[in-house]
Amino acid sequence: MLGDIVGACGRQSVAQLVPQIHEQYKPDVVLANAENTANGSGLTPDQYRKLCKAGIDGMTLGDHALRKREIFSILQDETNIIRPGNLPEGAPGKGWMAVQPQDENLPPVYVMIVLGNMFMGLNANDPFASVDRMMAQLPRTADDNAIILVEMHAETTSEKQAMGWHLNGKVSAVFGSHTHVPTADACLLPDAKQAKRKTAFISDLGMCGGHESVIGRRVEPVLTHLRTGVYMAFDVADRDPRINGIVIDIDEATGSATGIERFTMHADRNKPPFMA
């Protein structure tokens, strides 16, 4: 799972490094948060198709999910992209998806995303109740061993951690996104009472894009605004391109996480697709 893809630099970094991810980790499914792909805010149909071509099997969108109206039809029609499941009723798209690994002998991976409520400024429903509602909608195996991944797109680590404890033992993994800074708390949560599975957790995945920045935006205008209060356009940064994310090992027979590893990879601006 890759953190928020920020701007063209993030998309190009992902396109360049997904082959390295496959070579190094041999993943069955590659997922990414794509909500900042369109110059830092939203996703367009063309960018969606480019990310699919680059090897992203499934995409999540956060608080900028509905920023670009042209993405609405993609959200409605395609099965490998979701927006937060706790948006108000009537929002285009869906809050969970089933991603089938290329190896058809493997079970589907169920992925869902919700927005946090603290400091997000959106009219979102209770994320905890919304996750419980979506969990009840999932098709389940007879012995309840489905692989389930939950993304908490939130501003505060406390709310993300709370979601981890809420779902401990019920899902395969809970991971946070939105704040663009990778956290050092990747772990398997302690065994939950009467739980059949272990849950992997991390507070934030980090981001994919220019890391000589302030969470993906060029340093100078952000500093000017913070020091003077003068409005500045927060342009997307493109220096020091990297991708951040996690690799989760899951026992497909039980849906239990057996390992979680955080990683960072550096892209090369002197190689395609940057040179193109």
Tell me the average pLDDT across 196-210: 95
* CA proximity to 102, closest of 26, 171, 33: 26
The answer to whether 138 touches 85, Cβ cutoff 8 Å, is no
Q: Is residue 276 part of a domain?
A: no
The answer to whether 206 touches 180, Cβ cutoff 8 Å, is yes
State how far the Cα of 204 lies from the Cα of 189, in Å rounded to an integer: 15
Q: Is residue 21 part of a domain?
A: yes
Q: Is residue 274 part of a domain?
A: no
Instruction: Provide the β-strand partners of residue 202.
Output: 175
pLDDT for the residue numbered 135 = 94
pLDDT for the residue numbered 41 = 87
Report helix angle 157-167 to 127-137, nearest 10: 40
Percentage of the chain beyond pLDDT 90 is: 82
pLDDT for the residue numbered 196 = 79
pLDDT for the residue numbered 131 = 97
Tell me the average pLDDT across 227-231: 92
pLDDT for the residue numbered 233 = 86
Is 64 an annotated catalytic residue?
Answer: yes
State how far the Cα of 63 lies from the Cα of 191, in Å rounded to an integer: 32
Tell me the average pLDDT across 116-120: 86
**Average predicted confidence (pLDDT) for the chain:** 93
Tell me the average pLDDT across 102-107: 91
Tokens of 173: 């993994």
Q: Is the pLDDT of residue 140 over 80?
A: no
Rounded to the nearest angstrom, the gap between the alpha carbon of residue 268 and the centroid of all alpha carbons in its chain is: 23
Single-letter amino acid code for the residue at 241: P
State how far the Cα of 34 lies from the Cα of 52, in Å rounded to an integer: 11
State how far the Cα of 208 lies from the Cα of 4, in Å rounded to an integer: 6
pLDDT band, very low/low/confident/very high, at 143 (cuts 50, 70, 90): low
pLDDT band, very low/low/confident/very high, at 141 (cuts 50, 70, 90): low
Please return the burial class of 194, using the count of CB atoms within 10 Å of its CB with bins 0-12, 13-18 and 19+. Answer: exposed
pLDDT band, very low/low/confident/very high, at 275 (cuts 50, 70, 90): confident
pLDDT for the residue numbered 276 = 63
Higher pLDDT, 156 or 275: 156
State the first-to-last Cα distance of the chain, in angstroms, to the nearest integer.
26
pLDDT band, very low/low/confident/very high, at 219 (cuts 50, 70, 90): confident
Domain at 18, CATH number: 3.60.21.10
- Over residues 152-169, the pLDDT tens digits come to 999 999 999 999 999 999
Higher pLDDT, 25 or 90: 25
Q: Which domain holds residue 254?
A: 4-266
Number of domains observed in the structure of the chain: 1
